[in-house]
Structure 1
Amino acid sequence: MSTPDRQSAPPPPERRKRRGLTALVVVAIVVAAGAGVVVTDPFKKPAKDASARTTVPTGLAKVTQGTLSARTLQNGTLGYAGSYDVVNNAKGTITKLPGVGDVISQGDVLYRVDGKPVVLLQGAAEPVYRDLSYGAEGPDVRQLNAALVTLEYATKEEIDPDSDYFGTQTLNALKELQEDVGLDDSGELPLGQAVFLPAEEVRVTKSDAVRGGPAGQGQNVLQVSSTKRQVTVELNASQQTGVAVGDKVTITLPNGKTTPGEVSSVGKVAKQVEDKTTIEVRIKPKDPKVTGGLDQAPVQVAIVSDTVKDVLSVPVNALLALAGGGYAVEVVGSGGDKHKLIPVRTGLFDDSEGKVEVSGPGLAVGQKIVVPAS
């Protein structure tokens, strides 16, 4: 029998969701998986007996059909989403500051100046630059109205959260908020009495001020983040097209446990990190609670970069490298006494499952194939 021509095998099944990260060095992966068996001339046998047997301890596996996924493994950092500067606009002396790690919710006191509360409110449409009082209009009033409705000091029927007008209902709702936090219930919001940030609650990451020091107008008092857990990966810029928002990932935590996640954003601006050009990929854990409370902790992220469905697959270590190029698998007959080499064309490698997509004439679901003994 003549040596099989690898190119004669039909093309693999239609693939879905192909992207750039599937360019794998097949030989390297096969060797790494322990499938380095080289058949010098596997088909040089009498025509009446095209069988082949290995001489090393072996076991059996089956050809299966289903979905495979390719993954790229990346180093990441587990922390919190967002980073915001708290800019002070109150005049006086800083009399109280939160500690690093403290969590402050919208409507609560963020810090104090001359003993008076500076309140956290959600909003980032317009930097605070003026006093707000009855009759005022503008986007800064709109974010105040929205915050008062969110905090349930007014209903949507009483205050339209999209309204940019400071009316009677805004005045009444603001008076209730001021009374709750210990401020004079004037119904006016002086510059510096509230800080608007784009989060319902924040976690203090750094203090830039000193208790007892002056509260300078425009001074950064604190640095905060949201309380939403996030993993950040600095991905090689050349791999950008292989990752998209919505891609599923597996996060390996510092304690060795794994948890699923999803790509929430892929950066478009590259930056230089040491000798690499990278983009920032942000990942949202599916179950934030299992990630614990560590900040800036190193993790590993396996990003699903390619998926194929309804394909035949075998364990990677079932592949036999042919001397003339290409690969084969050793199929065992139904009686277990006849072995035959079937040339295959390889496709996607699923490292997490230790499987590889294969196709070729004579290959079928359920066939028993030879693998190295475990």
Structure 2
Amino acid sequence: MDRTSETSRTAGPDRPGAPARAAGHDEPAIGTARRKRRRVVLPLVLVAAVGGAAALGATRPWDRGSSAPGQPALGHGTVAVERGSLSSGIQVAGALAYDASTPVVASGRGTFTALPAVGSVVKAGGRLYEVDGLPVVLMTGERPLWRDLGPGVEDGPDVRQLKRNLVALGHADGLGLAVDEKYTAGTAVAVKRWQKALGVKQTGKVAFGSVVMVPQRAVRVDEVGVRLGAPVGAAEALTVSGTDLVAVVQPAENQLSRFKPDGKVEVRLAEGGTVQGRIRSLIRGGGGDGGADSGGGRQKTVVTVVLDDQRAARRAGPSSVTVDVVGDTATDALVVPVTALLALDGGGYGVNVVTGTTTRLVKVRLGLVADARAQITGDVKSGDRVVIPT
């Protein structure tokens, strides 16, 4: 007899010694004939399609009357084999936020005499705030200025940053100014041009505290942490961010392997619609509660996704989003719950297909497994009913 298509018949009322079936009971009897092997539901670790990974452990061997002494018999039900699509992608809740939040420390001495409005955008070369009636200007750079700059100053990377900005802002046009660490006479000329454009005294020198360096070429003011009239004293005056919105998520540990640097994702907006994105960074220790999650103090990983369509993102504004990480997909597939799968003694898996009042064990091949469902192929068709434990 073919092991892949085997019929187990239930004792009926016309057979001697068989118990009578209950009146009105029209469910098919579920295989009672015992074989030398027991069929065990396969333990599977599943990747859930919604909300992250899920796992199913091993269940007890099932066969009518096979429960352990003193335990209730395990019940059974049936479910139809479905034809449809299956995906191993995951979905993680996150948020749209302005990129790269950065505190701005006010250096030098004096009194705050003008402050920006929250939500205002300042570009490189623009006035960020004012001290003692003089503008403090935004420039682009990775390190803050730490000294006065002018002719005769020692060479340094802060000079290089200043010269790079003077060139980018057009104040060094025609001077042939080299972007290096030397404060040359040409540098002083470019500084005077910049000071003239600002409407301040043209000294050719840059006073400590008159420039704020940030990595971005333009920033959005997120928060103002000082008041007008407050003294400057190494205070965190402002918090600024980039002007672009990014999607930020904190996946669970068992989801991190699905997030690859430069990997493509789809971001579903709360107001409807989707935006394509790319994973820019995965940074450990960005948990909202002191950088630690609830799992024994382990720090979460923050994933930042840059978006292809800023116009759509700005229409949504800071809001909740769902980030879809696309995995493998099977279309036009026969799909059953994983609880319908049986591990066979000789290897492989099978399902019990209901035929009238009997069941037959059909060996199947597994395809994609996701969201507690499995793709199968074999002597099974859509609409067939297979046995599952209940």
TM-score between the two structures when normalised by the length of structure 1:
0.69
Q: Which residue of 2 aligns with 1:237?
A: 253
Counterpart for residue 45 of structure 1: none
Aligned equivalent of 2:366, options 313, 338, 345: 345
Please, which runs of 5 or more residues in structure 2 have no aligned partner? Answer: 6-50, 58-63, 65-77, 354-361, 386-390
1:264 Cα offset (Å): 0.6
Question: CA 1:281–1:144 in structure 2 vs 1: closer, same or farther (change >3 Å)?
Answer: same
Residues 1:168 and 2:185 are matched in the alignment:
yes
CA shift, 1:156, in A, is: 9.8
CA contact (8 A) 2:336 2:374 kept: no
Distance 1:230-1:202 versus aligned 2 partners, 3 A rule: same
Match of 1:178 in 2: 195
Could you tell me which residue of structure 2 aligns to residue 47 of structure 1?
A: none
How much has 1:127 moved relative to structure 2? 2.4
* Alignment match, 1:280: 302
Q: How does 1:164-313 map to 2 (within 5 A)?
A: 164-214=181-231, 216-269=232-285, 271-275=291-295, 277=298, 278-292=300-314, 296-304=318-326, 306-307=327-328
Match of 1:76 in 2: 94
TM superposition shift of 1:174: 1.6
**Residue aligning to 2:39:** none
Q: 1:88 to 1:318 in 2, by over 3 A?
A: closer
TM-score (norm 2): 0.66
**Which residue of structure 2 lines up, in the alignment, with residue 4 of structure 1?**
4
Aligned to 1:98: 116
Task: Note if contact 1:117-1:182 (Cα within 8 Å) is conserved in structure 2.
Answer: no
1:183 Cα deviation (Å)? 1.7
Q: Separation in 1 of the partners of 2:334 and 2:191?
A: 66
2: CA distance between counterparts of 1:2 and 1:156?
Answer: 90
Shift of 1:342: 7.6
Output the CA distance in 2 between the equivalents of 1:147 and 1:362: 71
1:281 partner amino acid: V
- Return the alpha-carbon distance in structure 2 between the equivalents of residues 192 and 265 of structure 1: 32
Query: Does the residue aligned with 1:250 lie in a helix, a strand or coil?
Result: strand
Provide, for residues 41-68 of structure 1, a one-character-per-residue CA deviation record: whole Å limited to 9, x for no partner.
Answer: xxxxxxxxxxxxxx99x99968x9xxx8
- Shift of residue 25, structure 1, vs aligned partner: 4.5
Cα pair 1:231 1:282 within 8 Å, conserved: yes
> What corresponds to 2:152 in structure 1?
135
CA gap of 1:292–1:114, structure 2 versus 1, over 3 A, is same
User: What is the rounded CA distance, in whole Å, between the counterparts of 1:320 and 1:74 in structure 2?
Assistant: 26
Equivalent position SS for 1:173? helix
Shift in Å, 1:296: 4.7
Note the alpha carbon deviations across 1:248-286, whole angstroms, 9 max, x for none: 211121212221111110124474123474211111112
Change (3 A) 1:141 1:293: farther
- Counterparts of 1:329 and 1:107 in 2: how far apart (Å)? 73
Q: Which residue of 2 aligns with 1:115?
A: 133
- Quote how far apart the aligned CAs of 1:2 are: 3.4
Q: How far does the alpha carbon of each residue in 1:281-314 deviate from its partner, in whole angstroms, 9 at most, with x for none?
A: 111112121112666522111123x447xx7751
1:262 is aligned with what amino acid?
R
Which stretches in structure 1 are left out of the alignment for 5+ residues? 6-20, 28-39, 41-54, 331-340
The residue matched to 1:235 in structure 2 has which SS?
coil
Q: Distance in 2 between matches of 1:322 and 1:348?
A: 11
Q: Which has the higher contact order (CA 8 A, sep 6+)?
A: 1
**Count of equivalent residues:** 306
Distance 1:60 1:89, change over 3 A: closer
Change (3 A) 1:22 1:82: closer
| Over 3 Å off, 4+ runs | 21-27, 58-62, 268-271, 274-277, 293-296, 315-330, 354-358, 360-363, 368-372
1:61 to 1:229, Cα distance in 2 relative to 1, 3 A: same
Alpha-carbon distance in structure 2 between the residues aligned to 1:154 and 1:357: 66
1:3-35 deviations in Å (ceiling 9; x for gaps): 429xxxxxxxxxxxxxxx9966489xxxxxxxx
Once residues 2 and 158 of structure 1 are traced to their aligned partners in structure 2, the CA distance between those partners, rounded to angstroms, is: 88
Per-residue CA distance 1:47-94 (angstroms, 9 max, x = gap)? xxxxxxxx99x99968x9xxx863221111210111212111242221
